[in-house]
C-alpha cells in the first residue's frame, strides 16, 4: 500500500535529484500569473485597497489549493497511480532544496576560483541587494544569508504544510509565499493592497520558522558545528530582524557557523543597515557558504524524518 508518507518521500527525493528544470511547467508560475490577473481585476473596482488585497488572498490561495485538489482528484479518476503521480509532482514543485543548494554552490565555486565578477553574477540570482561592488566576503555573506533565510520558505515550511495537508497544503503555502513576494512590499503601490498578503505570510511561517531552529541545532550537532551558540544567537538577535520570522533561521545559521550576518547593504542604490545577527564576529568565506549548504540539506532531511515520525506516532495514538 502506497501511503501519504511514501508520496512525500518520493517528492522530496525527486527534488534532490531533479531540482527545478526550467522546461518543466511550474505551478508557482501559474500562481504568479493568477495573482497579477486578480490584482488587475480588483484594482478596476471601487473597493478600498486593503479590502481588495484581502479578496486577492482569498482568490489566489483558495483557487490554488482548489485547483491542486481538483488535479489530484481528476488524475486519480484516470488511474490511481496517475493521482499519486500528480500528488508527488505538486509537492515536489514546492521544495527548493536542490535549487537553493545549487545556486549557493555556484557562488562558492566562483569564489574559490578567484573569479569575483562571476561570483557577483551568481549571487545576484540568490539575493535582491546590489551586487556590483560586493567584495568576496560580502558575496559569501549575501549567499550564506540567503541559504539561511530560504531554509524555511523554500524547504521546511513547504515540508511542514505537505506533512499536514499533503499537496493541497504545500500548494496553498506556496501561493501564500508567492503573494508575499508579489504584493508584500511597503511602498505606495502595495502598502494597503499587499497588507493581507504580508500578514498571512508572516502567520504561515510563524511555527515552521521556530520549529526549524531546533532542527538546525540537531543538524549542527551532527555536523560538528556550534550547537550551543545557536540558541544564544536566536535569543539575542531573532527579534531584531525586520521580519518576524526570518531572524530565527538566520540567527540559528549564524550561531552554528560562528559568523555575523547583517550590516550595510544596498538595494536599488539606497543604503540599508541591517541588524547584526550572531554572537561571534566571524567573517563569511567560501568555506562558510559550503557549510551552510550542507547544514541546510541536513536540516531538510531531518525535518522530513521527524515530521513523518510525529505523524506516525499521532496516527497510531488515534
Query: Does residue 310 surpass a pLDDT of 90?
Result: yes
- Answer positive or negative: Cα dihedral of 23, 26, 32, 34: positive
DSSP code of 266?
A: E
User: Which residues lie closer than 8 Å to 265 by C-beta, 6 or more apart?
Assistant: 129, 130, 142, 271, 272, 274
**Rounded (10°) CA dihedral 115, 121, 123, 124:** 160
pLDDT confidence band for 267 (50 / 70 / 90): confident
- Give residue 315's pLDDT: 84
For residue 98, the surrounding DSSP H or E stretch is helix 97-112
For helices 195-222 and 227-237, the axis angle rounded to 10 degrees is 160
pLDDT tens-digit map of 134-166: 999 999 999 999 999 999 999 999 999 999 999
Q: What angle do CA 68, 199, 164 make, to 5 degrees?
A: 40
Mean pLDDT of 77-92: 97
- Give residue 166's pLDDT: 97
Query: Which pTM does this prediction carry?
Result: 0.94
Cβ atoms of 230 and 309 closer than 8 Å: no
- Answer positive or negative: Cα dihedral of 216, 19, 10, 317: positive
- Answer positive or negative: Cα dihedral of 176, 178, 182, 187: positive
DSSP code of 96?
A: -
> Between 2 and 140, where is the model more confident?
140
Domain spans in the chain, listed from the N-terminal domain onward? 4-317
Between CA 113 and CA 161 the distance in angstroms is 39
| CA-atom Rg of the chain in angstroms | 20
- Give residue 94's pLDDT: 96
Amino acid at each position: 500500500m502506497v501511503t501519504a508518507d511514501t508520496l512525500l518521500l518520493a517528492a522530496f527525493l525527486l527534488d534532490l535529484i531533479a531540482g527545478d528544470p526550467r522546461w518543466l511547467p511550474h505551478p508557482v508560475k501559474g500562481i504568479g500569473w493568477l495573482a497579477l490577473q486578480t490584482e488587475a481585476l480588483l484594482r478596476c473596482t471601487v473597493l478600498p485597497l486593503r479590502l481588495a488585497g484581502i479578496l486577492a488572498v482569498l482568490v489566489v490561495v483558495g483557487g490554488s489549493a482548489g485547483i491542486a485538489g481538483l488535479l489530484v482528484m481528476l488524475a486519480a479518476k484516470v488511474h490511481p497511480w496517475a493521482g499519486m503521480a500528480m500528488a508527488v509532482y505538486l509537492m515536489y514543485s514546492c521544495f527548493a532544496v536542490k535549487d537553493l543548494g545549487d545556486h549557493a554552490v555556484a557562488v562558492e565555486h566562483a569564489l574559490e576560483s578567484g573569479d569575483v565578477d562571476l561570483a557577483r553574477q551568481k549571487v545576484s540570482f540568490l539575493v535582491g541587494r546590489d551586487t556590483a561592488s560586493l567584495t568576496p566576503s560580502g558575496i559569501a555573506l549575501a549567499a550564506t544569508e540567503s541559504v539561511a533565510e530560504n531554509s524555511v520558505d523554500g524547504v521546511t515550511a513547504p515540508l511542514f504544510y505537505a506533512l499536514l495537508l499533503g499537496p493541497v497544503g504545500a500548494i496553498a503555502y506556496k501561493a501564500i509565499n508567492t503573494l508575499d513576494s508579489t504584493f508584500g512590499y511597503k511602498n505606495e503601490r502595495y502598502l494597503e493592497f499587499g497588507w493581507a498578503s504580508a500578514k498571512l505570510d508572516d502567520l504561515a511561517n510563524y511555527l515552521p520558522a521556530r520549529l526549524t531552529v531546533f532542527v538546525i541545532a540537531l543538524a549542527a550537532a551532527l555536523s560538528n558545528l556550534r550547537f550551543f551558540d545557536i540558541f544564544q544567537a536566536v535569543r539575542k538577535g531573532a527579534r531584531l530582524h525586520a521580519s518576524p520570522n526570518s531572524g530565527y533561521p538566520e540567527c540559528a545559521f549564524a550561531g552554528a557557523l560562528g559568523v555575523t550576518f547583517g550590516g550595510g547593504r544596498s538595494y536599488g542604490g539606497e543604503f540599508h543597515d541591517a541588524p547584526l545577527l550572531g554572537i561571534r564576529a566571524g567573517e563569511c568565506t567560501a568555506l562558510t557558504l559550503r557549510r551552510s549548504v550542507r547544514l541546510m540539506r541536513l536540516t531538510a532531511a531531518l525535518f522530513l524524518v521527524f515530521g513523518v515520525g510525529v505523524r506516525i506516532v499521532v496516527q497510531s495514538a488515534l
